[in-house]
């Protein structure tokens, strides 16, 4: 039947995305996934191979879209600011806003995706490799752009600052609702636009403070050795 398969593949990916996000990779069986998708158990193996490949397929599906949007927003920010360097706010916003937009207005699949990414990012089993695989090449572009914004900042500090941003970002879009209880309802995890309005200045302030505290040692700034892929 040729391309009736594409439909089932997407149904399996959708179900896997949702269930992996809720209970984690090991907390979900292939039978859970295929029965939620309304297809036969064997089809997961037929289309995706072993279970780990299914997780990889889930992560890969939306990563490309997200990365394209990030790079497009960054290019636009640079264009508007030229010939001067774009603001730190604009660069960081280009990195975070696509998540905000997709999570708030992209449908439930995107919400599951970000909840899953948060778990992957914080897992020693997957975090060190899978996050790098899908996102690092775009992060390098942003680090370089931030090097233009903070010409006196050491490259190492930019990576550390990105690391902190990454933790805040993934936890935010995981929407675990902990902060809702903690703040007795003052904060609402689900109001993503409101959170994002705070996330960006927090991170901009963090970058500025860290770069200020650890400037480049001596004379000339703006070296920024291009990093290989």
Partner DNA sequence: AATCTAATTCATCGACTGTTGAAATTCAAC
Partner DNA sequence: GTTGAATTTCAACAGTCGATGAATTAGATT
Residues that bind DNA (CB under 7 A): 1-5, 7-8, 28-32, 39-47, 49-52
Side-chain half-sphere exposure of 48, counting CA atoms within 13 A: 27
Asked if residues 229 and 137 have their Cβ atoms less than 8 Å apart, the reply is yes
181 interacts with a copy of itself by CB under 8 A = yes
- Closest distance between a copy of itself and the C-beta of residue 99, in Å? 13
Dig out the tokens for 12 from the structure: 């399996």
Dig out the tokens for 28 from the structure: 């979900």
Nearer to DNA, 50 or 205 (CB): 50
**φ, ψ at 207 (rounded to 5°):** -60, -50
- Closest distance between DNA and the C-beta of residue 125, in Å? 15
- Closest distance between DNA and the C-beta of residue 27, in Å? 9
What, of a copy of itself, DNA, none, does residue 42 touch, CB below 5 to 8 Å by kind?
Answer: DNA
Interface positions, 107-136, toward a copy of itself (CB under 8 A): 115, 118-119, 121-125, 127-128, 131-132, 136
Q: If DSSP codes are grouped into helix, strand and coil, which group holds residue 196?
A: helix
Q: Which of 45, 67, 166, 224 touches a copy of itself (CB under 8 A)?
A: 166
139 interacts with a copy of itself by CB under 8 A = yes
CA angle at 201 for the pair 83 and 208, rounded to the nearest 5°: 65
Q: Residue 222's closest CA among 156, 146, 160, 148? A: 148
**φ, ψ at 87 (rounded to 5°):** -75, 155
202 interacts with a copy of itself by CB under 8 A = yes
Give Cβ neighbours of residue 104 (< 8 Å, ≥ 6 apart): 192, 193
- Please name the residue that has the structure tokens 């209880």: 181
192 interacts with a copy of itself by CB under 8 A = no
20 interacts with a copy of itself by CB under 8 A = no
Binding site for a copy of itself (CB under 8 A): 21-27, 115, 118-119, 121-125, 127-128, 131-132, 136, 139-140, 155-157, 159-172, 174-184, 186-187, 195, 198-199, 201-210, 213-214, 227-228
């Amino acid at each position: 039947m040729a391309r009736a398969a594409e439909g089932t593949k997407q149904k399996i990916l959708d179900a896997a995305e949702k269930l992996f996000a809720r209970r984690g990779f090991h907390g979900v069986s292939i039978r859970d996934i295929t029965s939620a998708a309304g297809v036969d158990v064997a089809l997961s193996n037929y289309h995706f191979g072993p279970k780990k490949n299914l997780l990889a397929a889930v992560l890969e599906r939306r990563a490309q879209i997200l990365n394209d949007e990030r790079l497009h927003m960054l290019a636009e920010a640079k264009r508007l600011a030229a010939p001067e360097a774009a603001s730190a706010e604009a660069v960081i916003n280009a990195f975070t806003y696509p998540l905000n937009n997709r999570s708030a207005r992209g449908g439930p699949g995107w919400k599951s995706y970000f909840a899953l990414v948060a778990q992957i990012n914080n897992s020693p089993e997957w975090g060190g490799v899978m996050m790098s695989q899908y996102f690092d090449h775009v992060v390098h572009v942003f680090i370089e752009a931030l090097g233009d914004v903070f010409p006196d900042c050491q490259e190492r500090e930019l990576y550390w600052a990105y690391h902190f941003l990454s933790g805040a970002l993934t936890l935010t879009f995981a929407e675990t609702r902990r902060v809702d209880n903690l703040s007795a309802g003052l904060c609402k995890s689900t109001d993503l636009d409101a959170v994002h309005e705070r996330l960006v200045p927090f991170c901009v302030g963090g970058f500025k403070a860290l770069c200020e505290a650890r400037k480049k040692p001596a004379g000339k700034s703006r070296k920024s050795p291009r990093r290989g892929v």
